[in-house]
């Protein structure tokens, strides 16, 4: 009876985790709308999306019935995540504007695909029990899940340096924190160290991002306001200069007519 209730509770938490994870995967959407409108990736980094892609790939492998049984919810959400990240990376590839960066993105995606293929072949040919496969793939999942949660570290460094959170999307940070928290709870029913450890670490990284956002939110507003003021001043100066040049041209023309 207790086991049945625990399984039901685990399934409910897993469904909630699927919803929050979907929000996490979709949270960069406003960023990519901005990229499409401006036709430039500006200072945004592709690292979080590349890290999320490999993370989803290894978790789909982990959730297969022949690797870790009764993990359907893990497969569904990470399979969805793969499709979403492919769309985002395609947009980033189109608008990055730098050939070198495009080559790097292509090379990383090719490397990730090859890695998953090799891992799957090795696991299914050399290991013949779900316990052994769970152990092998689970360790890999731990590594890449921590990498995904730690991928915004480069952005966090830029936030501290510039005192601006302009290029650290708020909702991505919130969704990352909530996602890690829910999947940590899911991993405790029953205890799954390969899910609990990386998601527990993810909670800490997500909390750190939210603290940074709170610390530099006001300074970001000031920086953006000053930037708009400067651009307005430059525009006004250009208009005045243009008007003065027109006046000079008209005066010269009148003198020539005389």
Residue 225 lies in a domain: no
CA gap 157, 234 in Å, rounded: 31
Give the pLDDT score at 109.
94
Asked whether residue 242 is domain-assigned, the answer is: no
> Is position 33 within any domain?
yes
Alpha-carbon span 92 to 35, nearest angstrom:
8
Q: Cβ(91)–Cβ(32) under 8 Å?
A: yes
Does the residue 197 lie in any domain? Answer: yes
pLDDT of residue 79: 95
Judge whether 151 and 168 are in contact, CB under 8 Å. Answer: no
Whole-number pLDDT of residue 114:
96
| Cα angle 120-121-126, degrees, rounded to a multiple of 5 | 105
Spell out where 38-147 has E strands: none
Mean per-residue pLDDT, 83-91 = 94
pLDDT (average), residues 24-42 = 88
Is pLDDT above 50 for 248? no
Q: Residue 48: inside a domain, yes or no?
A: yes
Q: Which pLDDT score is estimated for 240?
A: 45
Domain count, the chain: 1
Give the residue-averaged pLDDT of 236-257.
46
* Contacts for 152 with CB less than 8 Å, ≥ 6 apart: 48, 168, 172, 173, 176, 205, 209
pLDDT range class, residue 60, cuts 50, 70, 90: very high
Residue 227 lies in a domain: no
Q: What is the pLDDT of residue 75?
A: 93
Span 222-243, pLDDT tens digits: 888 887 877 655 454 444 444 4
Which residues 6+ apart lie within 8 Å of 112 measured at CB?
A: 50, 53, 54, 57
Asked, for residue 228, whether it belongs to a domain, the answer is: no
Please provide the average confidence, as pLDDT, over all residues in the chain. 83
Domain, as residue range, for 177: 1-220
Which pLDDT score, from 0 to 100, does residue 256 have? 44
CA dist., res. 65 & res. 82, Å (int): 19
Q: Cα(89)–Cα(235) distance, rounded to whole angstroms?
A: 35
Could you tell me what percent of the chain has a pLDDT over 90?
35
pLDDT value, residue 1: 63
Band of pLDDT at residue 171, cut at 50, 70 and 90: confident
| pLDDT tens by residue, 100-121 | 889 999 999 999 999 999 999 9
Evaluate if residue 81 carries a pLDDT over 70. Answer: yes
pLDDT of residue 232: 59
At 21, list the tokens.
């994870």
User: Regarding predicted confidence, which is higher, 223 or 65?
Assistant: 65
Lowest mean pLDDT among 34-43, 90-99, 163-172, 213-222: 163-172
Whether the full predicted model's pTM is greater than 0.75, yes or no, is no
């Amino acid at each position: 009876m207790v086991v049945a209730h625990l399984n039901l509770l685990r399934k409910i938490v897993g469904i909630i985790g699927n919803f929050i994870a979907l929000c996490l995967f979709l949270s960069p959407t406003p960023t990519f709308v901005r990229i499409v409108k401006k036709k430039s990736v500006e200072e945004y980094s592709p690292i979080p999306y590349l890290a999320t892609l490999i993370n989803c790939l290894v978790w789909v492998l982990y959730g297969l019935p022949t690797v870790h049984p009764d993990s359907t919810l893990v497969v569904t959400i990470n399979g969805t995540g793969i499709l979403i990240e492919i769309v985002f990376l395609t947009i980033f590839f189109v608008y990055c504007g730098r050939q070198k960066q495009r080559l790097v993105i292509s090379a990383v995606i090719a490397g990730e695909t090859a890695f998953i293929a090799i891992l799957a072949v090795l696991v299914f040919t050399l290991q013949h029990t779900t316990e052994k496969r769970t152990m092998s793939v689970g360790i890999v999942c731990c590594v890449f899940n921590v990498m995904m949660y730690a991928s915004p570290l480069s952005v966090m460094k830029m936030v501290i340096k510039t005192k601006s959170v302009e290029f650290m999307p708020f909702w991505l940070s919130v969704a990352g924190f909530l996602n890690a928290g829910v999947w940590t709870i899911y991993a405790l029913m029953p205890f799954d160290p390969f899910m609990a450890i990386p998601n527990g670490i993810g909670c800490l990284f997500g909390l750190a991002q939210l603290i940074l956002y709170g610390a530099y939110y006001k300074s970001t507003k000031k920086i953006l306001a000053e930037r708009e003021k400067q651009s307005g001043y430059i525009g006004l100066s250009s208009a005045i200069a243009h008007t003065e040049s027109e006046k000079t041209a008209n005066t010269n023309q009148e003198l020539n007519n005389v």
